[in-house]
Structure 1
Amino acid sequence: MNTDKYGVGHDPDCYLGTDVLKNLLDLRDERDLNEAERYLTEKCATQFEFQEPPYSLATLKDIHHTLFSRIYSWAGELRTVKISKGGNQFCIPERIEPEATKEFSRLKAAGWFDGYSREQLVVACADSYGTINVLYPFREGNGRTQRILFEWIIVNAGYKIDWWAVDQQEWVAANISSFHGNDHHLNQIFERCIGMPIQEDVHS
């Protein structure tokens, strides 16, 4: 049986004979779909305003829906198929909700990292980002959705954040390393992207 890029075999979510996800724009070419995704999600991302905690899986669903509702009919809905990339199996669909609840409870117990030093925040964000990435709750668009959530977490903790210093390939490589238990590369990304304390910047 042939498998698509997500390792799910004959995929009813894709156009027949392709690994292109069915979409509201009816784009059948992967490059065209990727370009449309990039354009529309960047445009939708400008609509977000900072949201204070508490955060939850419902927060991720809301973010995903806002980003992708013009592209996919299932925007904001949890995936229902098993997915693997490069031989790495993400969380099975049945475990997404309980595992997400566990991680968000951990974040709540940590006070959403409020009061953390910058060094503590870098390590904590890398660890939590890697954990949520393994959940891979949505069929597509997980990285973009997570980055908005962590932008809010970091701003709520009192720090500036800028993702532009990292390209897509670096995100992918860091997430693969984290999947195998090594958060070093995610640490490097958050070290580069988390800026100075917001209040210090305001009063400087």
Structure 2
Amino acid sequence: MPFGAYDAFEDPYLYRGTNTLRNRLGLRDPAQLEAAELELSSLRAEEPLPSGRFSSTHYRNIHRHLFRDVYAWAGHYRTIRTAKGGNWFCFPEHIRQQMNALFDQLRGDSFLRDLDENIFVEKAAIFLGELNAIHPFREGNGRIQLTFLDLIATKADHPLRLEMINAQSFMPAMVASFHKNYQPLQQELRSLLAGGIGWPGA
């Protein structure tokens, strides 16, 4: 869970009486499940990702691809309300509408192509922040957000070095974006760009 634990609510996704998500592996220990999820999703990430038109359906298909070995609901929008740190994510009854609207905006922005670096970073930070605020899946949101943004960035000729993410600064930047303060996230994304701060030889 890259961006911190979820607040606890009545959750049918969990095994009764535990904090462990129901999973195809039958694991009941959260640490074992987290390790297995990381390993299996990483293996899936090495395979060709589903092709698509950078739509909400494409996004769901990639989530299904990454997490299908672990969760039966991979690729399906969550059906319960969730929050982190007291901040509520999009209520499930509005997820589909909000996802469609966000990806319509992405298409309207030509999928962030033909933009100079500064404008790309500004728009990419807003897209990522809004996507995180929707948080459409019960688990795996952080992984799919970055995977999808990497695809967009590569197509837009602004490739990212995701392995350079500093969790200590990236996580607070994501929290700030939840409150519509995108500047910290812009700074984080700019540091991941080829030729940006932290790039070897820059």
Q: Given the two structures, how large is their TM-score scaled by the length of structure 2?
A: 0.89
Distance apart, 1:172 and its partner CA: 2.7
AA of the residue aligned to 1:155: T
CA distance 1:49–1:61, change in 2 (3 Å):
closer
Q: How does 1:7-156 map to 2 (within 5 A)?
A: 7=7, 9-49=9-49, 51=51, 54-156=53-155
Distance 1:94 1:50, change over 3 A: closer
- Say if 1:66 and 1:50 are closer, same or farther in 2 by CA, change over 3 A: closer
Against the structure 1 CA distance between its residues 106 and 56, is the aligned structure 2 distance closer, same or farther, given a 3 Å change threshold?
same
Aligned equivalent of 1:161: 160
* CA distance in 2 between partners of 1:127 and 1:151 (Å): 15
Per-residue CA shift, 1:116-154, capped at 9, x if unaligned? Answer: 011111111011100111110100001111112111111
2:23 maps to amino acid: N
Amino acid at match of 2:160: I
- Partner Cα separation in structure 1 for residue 168 and residue 134 of structure 2: 20
CA contact (8 A) 1:54 1:108 kept: no
Cα-Cα RMSD: 1.8
Distance in 2 between the 1:25 and 1:105 partners?
36
Q: Which residue of 2 aligns with 1:199?
A: none
Q: Give the Cα separation in 1 of the matches to 2:154 and 2:191.
A: 15
- Please report how far the alpha carbon of residue 102 of structure 1 lies from its aligned counterpart in structure 2 after TM superposition: 1.0
Aligned to 1:190: 189
Residue by residue over 1:91-134, the C-alpha shift from the partner in whole angstroms, topping out at 9 and shown as x without a partner, is 00111111111111111111111110111111110111001111
Paired residues in the alignment total 192
Give 2:92's aligned amino acid.
Answer: P
Structure 2 residue identity aligned to 1:16: R
Partner residue in 2 for 1:200? none
Task: Tell me how far apart the structure 2 counterparts of residues 173 and 113 of structure 1 sit (CA, whole Å).
Answer: 24
Q: Give the fraction of aligned pairs with identical amino acids, expressed as a percent.
A: 32
Q: Gaps spanning 5+ residues in structure 1: where? A: 197-204
How many Å apart are 1:47 and its aligned residue? Answer: 0.8
The separation in 2 between residues aligned to 1:41 and 1:189, in whole angstroms, is 24
Rounded to whole Å, the distance in 1 between the matches of 2:54 and 2:152 is 9
SS at match of 2:194: strand
Instruction: For residue 6 of structure 1, report the CA deviation from its aligned partner.
Output: 3.0
Deviation at 1:66, TM superposition (A): 0.5
